[in-house]
Structure 1
Amino acid sequence: MKIAIVDDNKPDLKLLGGFIAGYCRENRVDYELAAAAGGGAFLHGFCAGRYDLVFLDIFMQGMDGMEVAQKIRETDGDVLIVFTTTSSSYAVKSYRVRAFDYLVKPFSYEQFCQTMCLCDKALAKKRHYIEIKEGRVIRKVLLEDIIYTDYANHYIYVHTKTEVVKSYLSFADFSPMLLSFPQFLCCYRNCIVNLDHVLMLKDRDFEMTDGVRVPIKKEWYQEIRQKYADHIFGEMEREERV
């Protein structure tokens, strides 16, 4: 997740940066963080698609946050904007620039986490997909639709909720597309499962939501069982925060 903070109050900027680091660590979110001490400095390096989420203070010297948001929306209609401010008087105006949320200072870490959970879910639906070539066509496959993948005779088979996508691709070239996301795990030679689609761990196999049982390599079993348990507890904690 690529995140930017725009705030000319250094203590507030530092506090929010700490909140972001804490949330991403607890929820195993890969992130990149940029900070700007004013709207002009932020817009100087801004371009559409550069960030997934922008935390934007409204009351700043020079260009205020509402003006910055309007400039953002001139070129980028997708980035999530969360206003952070000491007053709720701009709440109605924030909808004109399609703000995702509005945090009134001082807000607690728990309040922040509630907003981040909502952002996380919104971004997951919008941007998480892989592109692979099937025949002569480039296919976009949503991560949430992938149940598991396997490999045979130089082809990757991506098993989704509705179909199997077949691509002439080595496992070494394909696997980094998925293994950079925490919900995907290599459990056997050339086989990757989506832990979000695991129903249960049974007799050293993963039973998947489509009824298929995917084996776990004997030498990896203890480590994989722990990772699966960590994933389940992580999901439970995230649900409790929302």
Structure 2
Amino acid sequence: MNINETKAISRDDNDVAGLDSRLTPTVYTGAEFLCYGDSLTAGYCSPEFAPYADALSESLGGAAVDHAGMSGWTAERMVRRADSDRESAFGLVYPGLRRLVRCRSGRRYSVVILMAGTNDLGFVPAEAIAANLARLHSMCHDAGVNTVAVTVPQSAFASDVTARGRLSLREKQREVNDLLRDFAADANSGSGSSRERRCLFVDMESRVPWSEGSADWMSDGLHMSKAGYEKFGRLLGPLISNFVEGAKRGEERKPSW
């Protein structure tokens, strides 16, 4: 999928989110799931985009999956701009996350798959990165939308292979992912049959790890290749299928506002 085919999210006068590659007003598409994050969600693999949402859709039996990838954005910026009605990332226009999950058409996403934090690793403490990721998840939960917490991926700058001289980034990535795992566990309140599963933690770094020369990664060491994104989405589907089916059957949750 090239950049002209990549769907971006727009809005109409009633503040209803939807997808449209021409950036014209539209209504909510009715898609069940939304993948939200940075350039790794956008599927950046210069000179094109190949979002893992496409392969995820296929692995979930053709389920409708939207994606909003804020290329170059940190998790902190995603939080700060969550209420924005129009943000641009590499020529694609999206509302902020809180607007995306507060659909006014009477329907909303049942699950948001969140993967972010890569752009924060170089200069933001692990605790702050994890706190911002938690805020993004909580925005969805407050809107009655369940979430999948995907680990911050490896890269040439945060992997065991290149740990020499960059060990702090690898350690920070692991710490963020550990804190994200703890958040997901805490988000699932209740006990026994009354336990409410709002957040599923999924560790993907061992399934699509970075290694030098890997066909799954671009030479920049930061972004996956087209084949890598396809593999990522294909492997993610079976790991979340039971969770998203439960949310789809819904166990309908009311917004907290």
Task: Tell me whether the two structures share a fold, i.e. TM-score over 0.5.
Answer: no
Looking at secondary structure, tell me which structure has more strand per residue: 1
| Higher Rg | 1
- TM-score interval, smaller chain: 0.3 to 0.5
Q: TM-score, normalised by structure 2?
A: 0.40
Which structure: greater helix fraction? 1
Higher RCO (Cα < 8 Å, 6 or more apart): 2
TM-score relative to the length of structure 1: 0.42
